Structure 1
Amino acid sequence: MIQITTQTIQIVAILISLLSLGVAAWLYSWVKSQPSSNARIAEIGGYIRQGANTFLRREYLILARFTAIAAVLILIFLPHPIWSGNITQNIWMAVSYIFGTVLSALAGKIGIQIATIANIKSAEAAQKGVKPAFMTGFRGGAVMGMAVVGTSLLGVTLVLLIVGDASAVLGFSFGASSLALFAKAGGGIFTKTADISADLVGKVELGLEEDDPRNPAVIADNVGDNVGDVAGMGADLFDSNVASMAAALVMATALGGPDSKNVAMVFAYAAIGLLSSVIGVATARIGKNGDPGKALNSSTYVTTAIFAVLTALSTYIFNFEWRIWGATAIGLIVGTIIGLTSDYFTNDAKPPVRAVANASKSGPAFTILSGFSYGLLSALPSLIGIAVTALISYYICEPLGSGYGMFGISMSALGMLSIVGMIISNDAYGPIVDNARGLAEMGGFGEKVIAIADELDSAGNTVKAVTKGFSISAAGLTVISLLGAFMSEVNTAASELGVQGIANFDIMNPTVFFGLIVGVAIPAVFSAMLMLGVDKNAQRMVAEIHRQWDTIPGLKEGKENAKPDYDKCIDIATTGSLKELIPAGLVAIFSTILVGFIGGASAIGGFLTGNITSGLLLALLMSNAGGLWDNSKKYVEAGNCGGKGSTAHKAAVVGDTVGDPFKDTAGPSINTQITVVSLVSSLLASLFLMYSIF
């Protein structure tokens, strides 16, 4: 056995973070060095890059104002009102919050930069075969995976080392979560506005191909893939990873102080998870005519196995507690199983997707009914997985002493998110090859190259569904552990104020029940606001596509000098999404504050419980149903159930347009929403104790 200090492990975590950032830089230069010579693709790729960067700049300017206002409020009120506490703590909390927002924004920016290069390189590489195109797309995604997790681990470690207070880590996590909430919502509204408009008008009305350059919305659709699925998801998983570490660190500190072995264990396991992802990315390979889906999954399994072995080894060498390792391992295993269940419901080689495609032959009503039903069914395995993980983790660690049961749950969440570097790499691969497929078609590369790009895109769609299910489930465990962090913060504040703390939340208590009922409703309201934003925005874009199609001479015929006004569609998507992104987020945050000041800390316990349970159900339903409808459409387009132009195809496209805001706007935004309200609750715990009506 080796005795090692917490500070030593934190320094090692910083070094592994820097290694990860170095690997990201090398992968970035490798992708950039790949050959590209097609002038048409370079031109279209330039439109996509310009549109994505313009949207991100305008979005970040709006979010910078929100951040400034929130930072001032944090400085005045947190962790204690400035007139009653230590001003230094308030300053550090505000600085940590700003630091979290900056790194979360950086995660999105890095994703945009690499994705808008990798899509061009991957499209050109598809001319040489599956292998070079896959490696370019995957390594492009891996830049984001390595950079996001490297910066999140680096940020958390630096905050705790410099400030020495786990509450400041909650402030850092709130910064990451609040920006991720708005970035995911805004990017999701943008991407689905363009996707729905391009599909409904282009495919259903005009009978155009997927990425026909005559369609005015086609470039906005490609921009949307980047701002929603790359920048938004990067910020989302940055937030989930930080939140899981924050919850574990708050409870670890409450159990033994900032230099305890529990804190050392959190950093050791997080660092090993990142190192495992670095190794997994470095060893990712595919044969000359290999299966992209199998290659992505095998990389994930390799990373999982490496993490399990290295954490067991570190537990033995540093004499960590084996029960806590067991909780971490359970989270890791169940995370993999949840990914497999998402794959079953969204993979076009499995029965549910094919059943929905067959139902589409009878019209869109049957597409919607069957897809929604399978979406509901798909939530059960994941919810059982989360529940069983929480239950087993709690009881494994409970014998270690008071508070260790909830700490065990937080470590199982950390275990589930341990391979998040690989998960982000796989997730970012999806929109990169989706764009590559569109570029291959618009560049006139021919059917053979488009077929290769389609194969890569199909694997990307399935993997995106798996990673969304994984991230939602991981967020579920994380927010359960954040509920434990909330109780720790309440009890710490209660002891300082000399009032009674909280042992549990009794739903027969009227204030707890009040909070529970309100909490159940918020994810539904939040989702409705986002999807109505997509609906209103898409209607404006559909009208614009019709206007251009009817008024630009030669556009219908595809004449060389007749070019659609792509910028107008990009502007509609940008303006509408930025208008809609703030209200939904503010509803979630202000409802939490309102419930806290009405019913106090007990009501917030009920509110968080209701928010978590209904949020997870809705998120899993929408994510999996959306992925299922998307791949049902692709299954029909591959020549099944009548193929392109058939009744089944038109119905499947309608199903896909319904599923778009499900899987790419509301679904993945809900897990960020439940994280944000959990963090707001923990940060305001002392205020809810001091000031409430009931």
Structure 2
Amino acid sequence: MLELSASSLVIVGVIAGVAVIALVIAVVLRGQVLAADEGSVRMREIAQAIQEGARAYLNRQFRTLALFVVVVLALLFLLPGDGGIKVGRAVAFVFGAGFSAAIGYLGMWLAVRANLRVAASAQHPGGRREGARIAFRTGGVVGMSVVGLGLLGAAGVVLIFQGDAPAVLEGFGFGAALLAMFMRVGGGIFTKAADVGADLVGKVEQGIPEDDPRNAATIADNVGDNVGDCAGMAADLFESYAVTLVASLILGKAAFGEQGIIFPLIVAAIGAVVAVLGVAITRVRGTEDALTTIYRGFYISALAGVALAALAAFLYLPSTFGAITGVSEELADHAGDPRLIAAAAVTIGVVLAGVILWLTGYFTGTTSKPTLHVASTSRTGAATVVLSGIGVGFESAVYTAGIIAAAICGVFLLAGGSVWLSLFLVALAGCGLLTTVGVIVAMDTFGPVSDNAQGIAEMSGEVDEEGAQILTDLDAAGNTTKAITKGIAIATAVLAATALFGSYADAVATSLQDIVDSGKEVGGGVITSMLAYDIISPVTLVGVILGAATVFLFSGLAIDAVTRAAGAIVFEVRRQFRENPGIMTGQVRPEYGRVVDICTRDSLRELATPGLLAAFAPIAVGFGLGVGPLAGFLGGSIAAGVLMAVFLANAGGTWDNAKKLVEDGRYGGKGSEAHAAVVIGDTVGDPFKDTAGPAINPLIKVMNLVALLIAPAVVQLSVPADANHVLRIGIASAAAAVAFGAVIASRLRAAKADQENEARAEVASARAR
């Protein structure tokens, strides 16, 4: 085992202490949230129903995912490598998955209690200020927990495995990313199936408000906000945090040696300090709106992160590359100052977060031209609303991708053309962006908590007009913060995936060198082509195409899953209205539990297909075509992933806020034809922004981590002249069979769902006659 110096171990121990302090602060903030007023008995009854549904769903989901964890754990032991590292990586995988699940559960548990308290705050003087404080501090608890657990996991592995920690942390990042992807997909299907079903039947067909208690899907809709947005996004940002640390430590070791392992941890620890600052200073002043307050808190904390990271670079790193302990031969004679270069890379990451925040806010905010334009198209019907929203999504994707590309180019220029240094600096930029992760999580959780609070208030009927307007304003601000955090999460995913791309190249190079050092003869001909990274190589270009195609297939499967589940909800809510006329008069209570059960069943049933596709597609490409085409596969998935994720997230966010504008009175207000048009647009955008789009973030990181883990095995089974090509092709064929088998199974479920819906429609038609 490569040992770290005593001073480095002391620094890592201090960082672990910072992680523990972050968790203690999370406990303190939790107590502040739970101390707030819980409102009336009726409010508590509604909140209790939401809590029970969310808890039941996540418990069933975790039981299902436990099987995947066990299977993947067994597969990890089949990979080549040192026995101690292999065991450590497997244990780290379990911890990464467990931490991701714990963060998601915590996000749900607290959000379903904070929503009630935000709703109750609207009944009191200063309700706007108090409601915003409760909602943001709820997110602060989750944000501090993300920082604390992520930092504690990484620091703990470094203390135990020291210089071998990067290899072990591959398992930690993989476990976190895999669970986050499943939670994103499952929670996204649940929440958007309920939301679409509630809107189409309640708003469009029955003409009742969004959270009217007569709609059987309202409780499921509110449950979905918590298991999708709160639990899913919290797990997503945790895995981004973990994966970025993994990539930075792997590349840091290759470029900077020992100090390259420690410095990213220092930057991450600074994120804990920044999170505390951001939560503490985010307070509504006077009559200002919540969004202004949140923006101010974010930018101040971001500036603090830049200053502290620069200070850390100048205190910890030497002034020349040659003085860095264990620096690579390529960088030993580099003319730059590593302190300035590292500080500048972190600054680029923080600036990127700020620019993405502004850009996403521009394309999705209620006062911005794009959203106002989409709202204005409601006067000509649903088709123009949908078309204008798609146009906004496409345009925003180009600008966002361009800004991310510019940030990567800036890092490349900082490195003076050194590929390995630039890859490490990309990882550092990701660490810099994630110094704000605590505030980002708080911003995201603010949205669903405010949305739920408005729903509880409307269903209870106990909040006056002024209080209802306060909650509406908080909800509108929450829609924008959710869209913003999705944009920042996408940027984080791209930086992390790019850094992992470099980690993959390092793993391949190390494995090739091991074969050469062992004296084995390297095969030629086709094998040489399988090793080539050149984009002009036809087989590498095939990998690029397959990587991009996987993103499209994954997105299509996720959206189609929501469509099927939403169809079942529509028929169920219609049935209840038809068979129980007393629901509309308020004499009969809807069967909320049936809708929650349908959402739970359908979302868990659809969970496996996207996950199997993400895990086995890179295995099929790697073992089937080689390490060069697998690199192309990763590049194609990153390029298509960033564009698709931004398009889906921003189009959906724009449609959502365009609906808010019409509901606030524009173009006829609620109940008008314009309102019906924007509701249709919003329902189209629901699976875009809350299911498929966000799930792409962990998807591209899962595929990169799978490639990183299998790279040594692919090299061993393809490069030597005496390689077992029969076994290699067999593994590729089996992986392709699993991936395509999952897709075929999904298609068969779709056909069965169509038959069931057709039978329901015939029954409804017969009863109507």
The structural deviation recorded for 1:289 is 2.0
Matching of residue 544 in structure 1 with residue 565 in structure 2: no
Residues 441-480 of structure 1 mapped to structure 2, 5 A cutoff: 441-444=458-461, 445-480=463-498
Structure 2: how far apart are the matches of 1:380 and 1:625?
Answer: 13
Note the alpha carbon deviations across 1:136-174, whole angstroms, 9 max, x for none. 111111111111121111111112221232111111100
Question: Is the 1:327–1:397 Cα contact (8 Å) retained in structure 2?
Answer: no
Q: Which residue identity is paired with 2:559? A: M
Name the counterpart of 2:325. Answer: none
Matching of residue 628 in structure 1 with residue 647 in structure 2: no
Name the counterpart of 1:143. Answer: 141
Structure 2: how far apart are the matches of 1:363 and 1:326?
Answer: 49
State which drifts further: 212-221 or 329-338.
329-338
Structure 2: how far apart are the matches of 1:307 and 1:519?
Answer: 35
Note the alpha carbon deviations across 1:507-545, whole angstroms, 9 max, x for none. 111221111110110011001111111000111111110
Residues 350-499 of structure 1 mapped to structure 2, 5 A cutoff: 350-398=368-416, 403-444=420-461, 445-498=463-516
Note the alpha carbon deviations across 1:7-66, whole angstroms, 9 max, x for none. 222122211111111111011111111112401111110010000010000000010010
Note the alpha carbon deviations across 1:455-487, whole angstroms, 9 max, x for none. 000000001111101110111111011100111
Structure 1: how far apart are the matches of 2:145 and 2:579?
Answer: 46
2:613 aligns with one of 584, 587, 608: 587
Q: Which residue identity is paired with 2:227? A: V
Question: Is the 2:658–2:678 Cα contact (8 Å) retained in structure 1?
Answer: yes
Name the counterpart of 2:72. Answer: 70
Name the counterpart of 1:286. Answer: 284
Question: Is the 2:532–2:540 Cα contact (8 Å) retained in structure 1?
Answer: no
Note the alpha carbon deviations across 1:385-440, whole angstroms, 9 max, x for none. 111111110221246x6621211111112212221111001101110010000011
Name the counterpart of 2:331. Answer: none
Name the counterpart of 1:571. Answer: 597
State which drifts further: 223-232 or 439-448.
439-448
Name the counterpart of 1:677. Answer: 703
Q: Which residue identity is paired with 1:21? A: L
Name the counterpart of 2:675. Answer: 649
Any idea what SS the aligned residue of 2:584 has?
A: coil
Structure 1: how far apart are the matches of 2:665 and 2:617?
Answer: 49
Note the alpha carbon deviations across 1:607-637, whole angstroms, 9 max, x for none. 0000000111100000000000000000000
2:110 aligns with one of 110, 114, 122: 114
Aligned length: 681
Question: Is the 1:130–1:288 Cα contact (8 Å) retained in structure 2?
Answer: no
Name the counterpart of 1:242. Answer: 242
Structure 2: how far apart are the matches of 1:140 and 1:335?
Answer: 22
Name the counterpart of 2:666. Answer: 640
Percent identity reads 39
Structure 2: how far apart are the matches of 1:10 and 1:494?
Answer: 32
Matching of residue 506 in structure 1 with residue 523 in structure 2: no
The structural deviation recorded for 1:364 is 0.5
Question: Is the 1:196–1:538 Cα contact (8 Å) retained in structure 2?
Answer: yes
Unaligned stretches of 5+ residues in structure 1: none
Name the counterpart of 2:45. Answer: 43
Name the counterpart of 2:355. Answer: 337
Q: Which residue identity is paired with 1:36? A: E
Any idea what SS the aligned residue of 1:691 has?
A: helix
Note the alpha carbon deviations across 1:324-374, whole angstroms, 9 max, x for none. 211111111022101111100000101111111111110000001111001
Residues 551-566 of structure 1 mapped to structure 2, 5 A cutoff: 551-559=579-587, 562-566=588-592
The structural deviation recorded for 1:126 is 1.3
1:88 aligns with one of 57, 61, 84: 84
Structure 1: how far apart are the matches of 2:304 and 2:599?
Answer: 43
The structural deviation recorded for 1:446 is 2.4
Structure 2: how far apart are the matches of 1:475 and 1:38?
Answer: 42
Note the alpha carbon deviations across 1:530-578, whole angstroms, 9 max, x for none. 111100011111111011111125111112xx11110000000000000
The structural deviation recorded for 1:237 is 0.5
Note the alpha carbon deviations across 1:289-345, whole angstroms, 9 max, x for none. 221000111110111011011111112222352212111111110221011111000
Any idea what SS the aligned residue of 1:620 has?
A: helix
Q: 1:611 to 1:281 in 2, by over 3 A?
A: same
Question: Is the 2:342–2:428 Cα contact (8 Å) retained in structure 1?
Answer: yes
Structure 2: how far apart are the matches of 1:150 and 1:579?
Answer: 33
Unaligned stretches of 5+ residues in structure 2: 319-337, 523-527, 719-724, 730-769
Name the counterpart of 2:119. Answer: 123
Name the counterpart of 1:212. Answer: 212
Any idea what SS the aligned residue of 1:555 has?
A: helix
TM-score between the two structures when normalised by the length of structure 2: 0.87
The structural deviation recorded for 1:504 is 7.5
Looking at CA atoms only, which structure, 1 or 2, has the larger radius of gyration? 2
Q: 1:183 to 1:535 in 2, by over 3 A?
A: same
Q: Which residue identity is paired with 2:141? A: V
Note the alpha carbon deviations across 1:478-509, whole angstroms, 9 max, x for none. 10111001111111121122288999821111
Structure 1: how far apart are the matches of 2:98 and 2:618?
Answer: 24
2:694 aligns with one of 644, 664, 668: 668
Q: Which residue identity is paired with 2:677? A: A
Q: Which residue identity is paired with 2:132? A: F
Structure 1: how far apart are the matches of 2:706 and 2:302?
Answer: 32
Question: Is the 1:76–1:90 Cα contact (8 Å) retained in structure 2?
Answer: no
Q: Which residue identity is paired with 1:280? A: G
Name the counterpart of 1:10. Answer: 12
Structure 1: how far apart are the matches of 2:381 and 2:534?
Answer: 48
State which drifts further: 428-437 or 85-94.
85-94
Question: Is the 1:170–1:683 Cα contact (8 Å) retained in structure 2?
Answer: yes
Question: Is the 2:39–2:117 Cα contact (8 Å) retained in structure 1?
Answer: no
Any idea what SS the aligned residue of 1:641 has?
A: helix
Question: Is the 1:244–1:478 Cα contact (8 Å) retained in structure 2?
Answer: yes
Structure 1: how far apart are the matches of 2:146 and 2:646?
Answer: 24
Note the alpha carbon deviations across 1:114-133, whole angstroms, 9 max, x for none. 10110011100111220111
Structure 1: how far apart are the matches of 2:120 and 2:55?
Answer: 22
The structural deviation recorded for 1:6 is 2.3
Question: Is the 1:6–1:263 Cα contact (8 Å) retained in structure 2?
Answer: no
Q: Which residue identity is paired with 2:658? A: S
The structural deviation recorded for 1:4 is 8.9
Structure 1: how far apart are the matches of 2:579 and 2:419?
Answer: 72
Q: Which residue identity is paired with 2:583? A: L
Name the counterpart of 2:763. Answer: none
The structural deviation recorded for 1:86 is 3.2
Question: Is the 1:353–1:629 Cα contact (8 Å) retained in structure 2?
Answer: yes
The structural deviation recorded for 1:442 is 1.2
Question: Is the 1:99–1:175 Cα contact (8 Å) retained in structure 2?
Answer: yes
